[in-house]
């Protein structure tokens, strides 16, 4: 009725069964190799197993190996490598966001503060930066082994010392805990620096 003979159906089933048996050999090779190198990626795995696959007579390309391992849930899941640098859920006062929709036409009109982390052989270090929003110049910075408010304050004080102008400026941050401490607030309420966020 569908234009497919009974013989063709049986042959297709036979090919499918044979292929499944071949792929079981591939699975055994993958599991054995991963027992020695658990985090080995599929590209390197394919390169390592290519000679053995030829020896056992299994034809499978790199993309085919990816598809098969995905089907068997044998792909390596990437590790989440994330270091949190912001805690904006705190009880300290949060200031309104005056930065939004602002257009800055001269340097030193707005300072943007942020913390990023830097990995080294000694571990993780935290870099506090204060950047001029208009020129993108780094006005202040401080590297430390923790995310203390003192480190943030040092970077901000350096930025203020490096100013070449005296006109009013605003300070924008991500409302992190370190930038909501009394020391930072006192610094930001000086006559020529308005606090935002």
Domain assignment present for residue 82? The answer is no
Share of the chain above pLDDT 70, in %: 76
Residue with more model confidence, 197 or 154: 154
- Residue 174, CA atoms < 13 Å, CB-side half-sphere: 16
pLDDT tier, 141 (very low <50, low <70, confident <90, very high otherwise): very high
pLDDT (tens digit, 9 = 90+) per residue, 120-139? Answer: 888 888 888 889 988 889 99
| 175 and 124 within one domain | yes
Q: What is the mean pLDDT of residues 15-32?
A: 88
pLDDT tier, 99 (very low <50, low <70, confident <90, very high otherwise): low
Domain assignment present for residue 147? The answer is yes
| 114 and 42 within one domain | no
Domain assignment present for residue 76? The answer is no
Domain assignment present for residue 105? The answer is no
The CATH number covering residue 184 comes to 3.30.420.10
Determine the Cα–Cα distance for residues 126 and 129; give it in Å rounded to an integer: 10
Judged against a pLDDT cut of 80, whether residue 175 lies above it is answered with no
CB 140 within 8 A of CB 159: yes
pLDDT (tens digit, 9 = 90+) per residue, 24-79? Answer: 988 988 998 888 888 888 888 898 888 988 888 888 998 998 998 998 888 887 76
Domain assignment present for residue 91? The answer is no
Number of domains in the chain: 2
**pTM of the predicted model over 0.85:** no
| 65 and 117 within one domain | no
The residue range of the domain holding 11 is 6-71
Calculate the average pLDDT of the chain: 78
Judged against a pLDDT cut of 70, whether residue 89 lies above it is answered with no
3-state secondary structure of 80: coil
Domain assignment present for residue 81? The answer is no
């Amino acid at each position: 009725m569908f234009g497919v003979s009974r013989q063709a159906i049986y042959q297709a089933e036979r090919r499918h069964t044979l292929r499944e048996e071949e792929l079981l050999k591939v699975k055994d090779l993958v599991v054995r190799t991963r027992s020695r190198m658990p985090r080995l990626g599929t590209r390197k795995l394919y390169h390592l197993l290519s000679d053995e696959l030829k020896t056992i007579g299994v034809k499978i390309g790199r993309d085919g190996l990816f598809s098969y391992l995905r089907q068997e849930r044998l792909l390596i899941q990437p590790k989440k490598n994330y270091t949190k640098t912001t805690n904006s859920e705190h009880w300290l006062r949060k200031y309104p966001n005056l930065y939004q929709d602002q257009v800055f036409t001269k340097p030193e009109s707005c300072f943007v503060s942020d913390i990023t982390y830097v990995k080294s052989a000694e571990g993780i270090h935290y870099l506090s930066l204060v950047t001029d929003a208009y020129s993108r110049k780094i006005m202040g910075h401080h590297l430390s082994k923790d995310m203390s408010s003192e480190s943030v304050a040092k970077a901000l004080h350096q930025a203020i010392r490096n100013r070449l102008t005296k006109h009013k400026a605003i300070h924008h941050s991500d409302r992190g805990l370190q930038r909501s401490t009394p020391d930072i607030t006192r610094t930001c309420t000086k006559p020529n620096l308005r606090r935002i966020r």
